[in-house]
Structure 1
Amino acid sequence: MKIDVKNIELDEESSKAENQIYLGDLHINEAYVGACLIEVGITTLYHARDEPAAALITQAEEYFRQQPLTFYPYENSGKDGELLQPSLRLEIALKVHEHFLKEAAEQRRVFDEFIDKNQKQAIIIGSPGKKGTLITLTHPIADILNFPVLRKDLAELIRHSILPKMEEGQQVLNTNIPVSILQQAGLKESQYFFKGEEQQPPNKKNNGINGPSG
């Protein structure tokens, strides 16, 4: 039994609510059977578009009722999880969850590429996961870090020319500036994205949504 949810979109009326609602098109065995509504972590609803679709939904519900209890791990929790009875609602929630994981991974890939491409000779300020503002330097940062005097100059530049321009919630997004220099420049921990000392590639964390809801 193949379940898929396509054309997933945020319900605009819930966009600012604590629990956002998403709408999608439910497909069973490649056939469109009707719309579904997913309130992440709360509930999943669906309805048939016509009688043949209703019959297919009933068939899918019965199929999942006959499946054995299945262990569903919590996201990023190692061995923790729940033993649940598979259901059509749970399968829909899982498909939507997979959609957001893929979407988040793609957004992170684009963000990481932007940072990696532009940080070599610029300081980037903005919000994590989003493209930021570039302040171009006269020398590559890798060269600056080779000289103690220039490292001090970089800290002073950030203190006097970058920090005053940063708005609430913004960070220095570079991953190639040691945290010691950022702290020397007067940045708080919440004001810089990278927490390491050596030049490294961006940290690829999984930005997913909460676990599925049945």
Structure 2
Amino acid sequence: MKIELKSIRLNDDLSFDSFSFTANLYVEHKRVATVIDDGMGSEYRYENIEPENRLLFHNAEQHVKSLQTSTETEAPSKSNEPLPAHYALDQYLYELLCAHVERLDQRKLNTIIKNGIAYGGGKISYRFVKFSNPVSELLKTDKGISTIEWALNKRVLPKIEPGEKILNKNIPEDIIKRAGFSEDQYTKPEQLLKAPKITTKPRKGKGL
């Protein structure tokens, strides 16, 4: 059974014990309810269920509950203990929501590392240095490479803490090493990027 959350609207200002959000619940490609969480850790509210959709909503609850003991891997829920049907649906939708939030966080991080250096403990816990030009453009010139190396050495290295690392995968490893980072302080590039050797002393460029 296809169960989806669409038109998800998050409210970070009201998210305290849980994500505050509203979303449309679709079952078998049909909108059957509005899902609401007030951000205070309470159960989800299901509103706007039309009479003709009540059976479909009920079937969705029972389907998710049955997945708890099924050998199928269709459900995203990781709970090992059976839950009542309405709690099981809450848990299922919560994990769909978490997957959505993770995609948003990754998209935001990807935008940052295209135009700067992100460093920290993970996707949602990081700081960054922003350039005025994309990293891909800076890597095309000696001056741009000097700018990246200067930023790594002067702006990032002094502030990076134990357990943190550079999150970029779009900066060649040799540039990062020249800036003074050890292998446990950066993320390995997805491809073996190589930067040309810099013959002049690195200095602050106009890319920052």
| Alignment TM-score, normalising by the size of structure 2 | 0.51
Asked if structure 1 preserves the Cα contact closer than 8 Å seen for 2:68 and 2:79, the reply is no
Q: What RMSD, in angstroms, separates the aligned Cα atoms of the two structures?
A: 4.9
Task: Encode CA deviations 1:35-63: one digit per residue, 9 max, x unaligned.
Answer: 213589x5651313144233432232233
Alignment of 1:109-188 (within 5 A): 109-110=110-111, 114=114, 124-125=116-117, 132-134=130-132, 139-140=141-142, 158=150, 163=154, 175-178=171-174, 179-183=176-180
Alignment of 1:17-56 (within 5 A): 17=16, 19-38=18-37, 44-52=43-51, 53-56=53-56
- Equivalent-residue separation in structure 1 for 2:140 and 2:67 (angstroms): 64
2:91 matched to 1:100?
Answer: no
- Equivalent-residue separation in structure 1 for 2:49 and 2:20 (angstroms): 24
Distance change >3 Å, CA 105–CA 70, structure 1 → 2: farther
Asked if structure 2 preserves the Cα contact closer than 8 Å seen for 1:34 and 1:46, the reply is no
- Equivalent-residue separation in structure 1 for 2:5 and 2:187 (angstroms): 36
Identity %: 13
Task: Encode CA deviations 1:12-45: one digit per residue, 9 max, x unaligned.
Answer: 4325x464322211122222222213589x5651
- Structure 2 unpaired stretches of 5+: 161-165, 195-208
Distance change >3 Å, CA 84–CA 172, structure 1 → 2: closer
What code does the residue aligned with 1:69 have?
T
- Equivalent-residue separation in structure 1 for 2:110 and 2:12 (angstroms): 26
Asked if structure 2 preserves the Cα contact closer than 8 Å seen for 1:126 and 1:133, the reply is no
What code does the residue aligned with 2:104 have?
E
- Equivalent-residue separation in structure 2 for 1:141 and 1:194 (angstroms): 24
| Alignment TM-score, normalising by the size of structure 1 | 0.50
3-state SS, counterpart of residue 172 of structure 2 = coil
- Structure 1 unpaired stretches of 5+: 76-80, 116-123, 145-153, 202-214
Asked if structure 2 preserves the Cα contact closer than 8 Å seen for 1:175 and 1:199, the reply is no
